[in-house]
Chain A
Amino acid sequence: MSDEKKKKKKAINRLKTMYPLRANIDKGYERSVEATKAGKPTAWSMVNWWEADPILKAMDIEIVYPENYGAVCAAFGKAQAFLDRSDAEGFPTHMCGYARNCIGYAAKMKELGEIPSEAPMGGMPKPMLLLCSGALCDARIKWFQALGRYLDAPVWTVEMPHPGVEESQMPGVREKAIDFMVKELREFVVFLERLTGRKMDWNKLDEIANDLIAINKIWYDLNEMRKVRPCPMHSRDFWTCMNASLFPAGDPKEALRLYQDMYDEVKQRVDDKIGAVANEKYRMIFGELPPWHALKIFDELAERGWNFVIESWAYQAPKPMDYSKISDPIERIATQTYQWLTGYFEDALKEKEYMGYFAYPYIEWARTFQCDGALFHPLITCRTATNHLILAQDRLLSKWNVPAMIAEGDIVDLNLFDYADTMRKAEVLEEMMDHHKKVRQERGLEW
C-alpha cells in the first residue's frame, strides 16, 4: 500500500488483538479507582499469583497493588518525592524502590489525612487491609508490616512454601505444601469474613478460580506458540498484556475472551509463517522487567533482526495441569499457585540445576525456544530480580553456548538505564551470538 511505503514500517509487528486487551486492562484499572473512591472496601495487596486475588474478588473487595503503583509513580515522574520522604522517615535507602515509594506515599497520606494531590492516576485510597505475600521476596512481607507506622489497617500474610529443587520431589512434599496453603487460605477466608462482616460466596469463588485457571491456560498456550520460527509474538506484546493475568482487575470473562482472540491471531501468524520481526536473525530471551521509558530500544534492536521470544519466569503463566478433579476451589487456587512456583523443578532436577525458578527456566527456554542470546536488565533496588542473573548468564553460556549481556536499570530510577551503552553492548553481543551459534553447531546442538 502506498501509505505504508511512505511511512517507515515499524520493525516490530504488533498483534492487533493486543490493543483491545490493553484497553480492557486500562479500563479495569480506572473502574477500580472509581470504585475505591466511591468508598468500596479496598485492600492493598502484593502481587500474589492468584493465591489471594480470587478470594478478595469473591468477597467483592477492590484490590490495589502498590508494586504496580510504584511503577505508575515512576512512569509519571512522581516517585522521587515519595522516595525522598521514605528516606527522611529513616528507612534505609538501599531498600526496594517500590516499597520506598509506597512508604513515602503512606507517610504523606497520613500527614495530610487524604490522598496526596500529586499522586498520579487518582492515588491509592486508604486500605481496610494490607495483604502480604510470602512469595519470592522479603520486601513483600516486611514492607506492609512497616506501614503500621502510618496506617491502622490489619496486615495478613498469605503463606507460600519455597522448597528446594530436589526436596520438592520427595514423596509427600507437594501434598503437604498444598495442604499448608489450603489451611492458611481457609483461615484467611474466616479472617476476611470477620473483617468485612460479609460471608464468602463460594459459588462465586469457584467461578473466579476457574476463570483465572482458564486465562492462565490460554495465556500459556499462546506463549508456547512463540517456540515457532519465526516467532509470531514479541516480548512487547507480552508486557502489554501480562497484567490481565497478573493483576486480575475487571471482568475475568472479558479478559478470557480477549486472550482467546489474541490466541487466534498468534495461531494465524504461525500458520502463515509471519514473524513479529521481519527478518528474525536472533531469537532472544529478556530477563526481568524492561526499561519502561526506553522501550523504543526494542524497535532499534528489531531492525537488526532481534526478536524477543520469551521473558522472565515470574510473569509467566504456570505450566498447565489437570485441575478438574479438585472440587474444592481453595485447593484449586493453592494448587495453581504452587504449580506456578515449582512447575519447572522436576525438569530442573533432571538437569541438576538447583535454582528451579528464576534461573532454570531461562536455561530450559534457551533450548526449547532455540534462543541465540539473552538481554538481562537487573533492577538495582530489586535484589530478587537481580540476584540470579549472573548465575543464569554463566549457566546459559557454559551449558548451551548462549551468551547473555547485562544492562543495568532500576524499577523507580528510570534514568539509570543507559540506552547508548546498551546499544554498544548489543553490537558486541551480536558478534558473540554469531560465534557461539557455530560452536553450538559443532557441539551438535539442535539450534
Chain B
Amino acid sequence: MTKAVIINGDGKTCSSIIGPTGPEHRRLANKVMEDALRQANLSFEEISCVIATGYGRINVPFADRQITELTCHAKGVASFFPTARTAIDIGGQDAKGLKIKNGKLVDFVMNDRCAAGTGRFLEILVDTLGLKIEELGNTSLKSTKKVQISNTCTVFAQMEVMTHLSQGTPLPDIVAGLHDAIATRVVRMAKKLKIEPDVVFTGGVAKNIGMVNALKDNLGLEVLVPDEPLLTGALGAAILGKELTLKALAEGKPIHEKERRLEEATFFQAESN
C-alpha cells in the first residue's frame, strides 16, 4: 500500500490516503500525493516539507528527505499513545519491533527476509483456505481448539494447511493456528528488545482481531491498536516533517535543501516502461 498523510502546523491531520501498491513506486507516490492534496484542498507549493518513508522512500523524487519507516513508525506510535514503550508492526512485507523512549526510537529489530511472520504469510494462505483476508479475524474467533502449525516455512505451512483441510479440521481452528504461528514468530523476534508495556500493535495485520488476540496471548500482555493502524508510519513522517520545518524556521535556515517538483504522473508512466 502507498499512503500519504498531510498535517498542519498544529499537528492536525488535513488528509490521509491509502492507495494501492505495486512495482511503480514513483507513479504511485505521485498519485497518492495528488489525491492527498485534493482531499486537503491544498496545492503542492503550500506544503512546507515532504518526508518519504518505507521501502519506496528512495523513489519519491519530490521529497525533501528520506527517513526510515522505523523512525517514522516510532514517531507515529508515540503520537497516538504517549505511554508506548514497545511497538510491534506487522506489514505485508516485513515485521518490526520498536523500542520507544520519550517518543523516540531507541532500538529495533526487523524481519524482512522471510514471508513467515509477516502479513504476506496470510495473503498466501487465504487462497488455500478459500477466505478473504478481511474474514480471517472473525473466522478465528469461532475457534475452539486452534491447530498447531509446526512449519515455519510458508510453503510447508501451506501443505500443512492443506493436510488439515483434507482431514476436516474446522476452518476457524486452522485460521487461529495460523495467527498463532505468526504471533509466535514475531514475539520471538521482538523479545530481543526486552519488551516493556505499553505495547502498541500497528501495520495492516493489526486490523485483524484474531491477530490482535494471538499477539496478546503470546506476549502475555495487553496490546493497544490505533484506529487506523496502516497510517502510523505516514503520520510519523508528517510529524517529523513538521518538526524539521519548525526547527529550520527557528534557526532561520531554508526548509528545502533542494528544489522539488511534483511531476506529472504521465511522465513517470512513460519512464517506467
Contact = CB atoms under 8 A, between A and B. Distances in A.
Contacts of A88: 188, 191-192
Nearest to A88: B191
A87 B191 contact: yes
B150 A90 contact: no
A169 interface: no
Nearest to A87: B188
Contact of B188 (A84, A89, A90): A84
Contacts of A89: 192
A414 to B, nearest CB: 11
Contacts of B188: 84, 87-88
A90 B189 CA distance: 10
A88 B191 CA distance: 5
Contacts of A87: 188-189, 191-192
Contacts of B191: 84, 87-88
Interface in B104-158: 150
Interface residues of A, number: 6
Nearest to A91: B192
Contacts, number: 12
Contacts of B189: 87
A84 B189 CA distance: 9
Contacts of A415: 150
Interface in B3-34: none
A317 B191 CA distance: 43
Nearest to A84: B188
A90 B150 CA distance: 23
A89 B192 CA distance: 6
A332 B127 CA distance: 67
Interface string A46-74: 00000000000000000000000000000
Interface string B184-217: 0000110110000000000000000000000000
B148 to A, nearest CB: 11
Interface residues of B, number: 5
A88 B192 CA distance: 4
Nearest to B151: A415
Nearest to B189: A87
Nearest to A415: B150
Nearest to B188: A84
Interface string A82-107: 00100111100000000000000000
A90 B193 CA distance: 9
A415 B188 CA distance: 19
Interface string B146-190: 000010000000000000000000000000000000000000110
Interface string A229-266: 00000000000000000000000000000000000000
A87 B192 CA distance: 7
A162 B56 CA distance: 51
A87 B188 CA distance: 8
Interface string A384-416: 000000000000000000000000000000010
A43 B188 CA distance: 31
Nearest to B195: A88
A381 to B, nearest CB: 14
Contacts of B192: 87-90
A89 B194 CA distance: 9
B120 to A, nearest CB: 20
A415 B150 CA distance: 9
A420 to B, nearest CB: 12
Residue with the highest number of chain A CB atoms closer than 10 Å, among B150, B188, B189: B188
Nearest to A89: B192
B229 to A, nearest CB: 25
A392 B188 CA distance: 37
A87 B194 CA distance: 12
A89 B189 CA distance: 10
A89 B188 CA distance: 11
A296 B150 CA distance: 22
Contacts of A90: 192
A68 to B, nearest CB: 26
Nearest to A90: B192
A215 to B, nearest CB: 41
B256 to A, nearest CB: 40
A84 B150 CA distance: 15
B108 to A, nearest CB: 13
Nearest to A83: B188
A340 B189 CA distance: 42
A84 B188 CA distance: 6
A189 to B, nearest CB: 42
Nearest to B187: A84
A239 to B, nearest CB: 26
Nearest to B193: A88
A100 to B, nearest CB: 13
Interface of A: 84, 87-90, 415
12 contacts: A84-B188, A84-B191, A87-B188, A87-B189, A87-B191, A87-B192, A88-B188, A88-B191, A88-B192, A89-B192, A90-B192, A415-B150
Give me the 8 closest cross-chain CB pairs, A-B, nearest first.
Answer: A88-B191, A88-B192, A84-B188, A90-B192, A415-B150, A87-B188, A84-B191, A87-B192
Given A90-B192, A415-B150, 10 more contacts: A84-B188, A84-B191, A87-B188, A87-B189, A87-B191, A87-B192, A88-B188, A88-B191, A88-B192, A89-B192
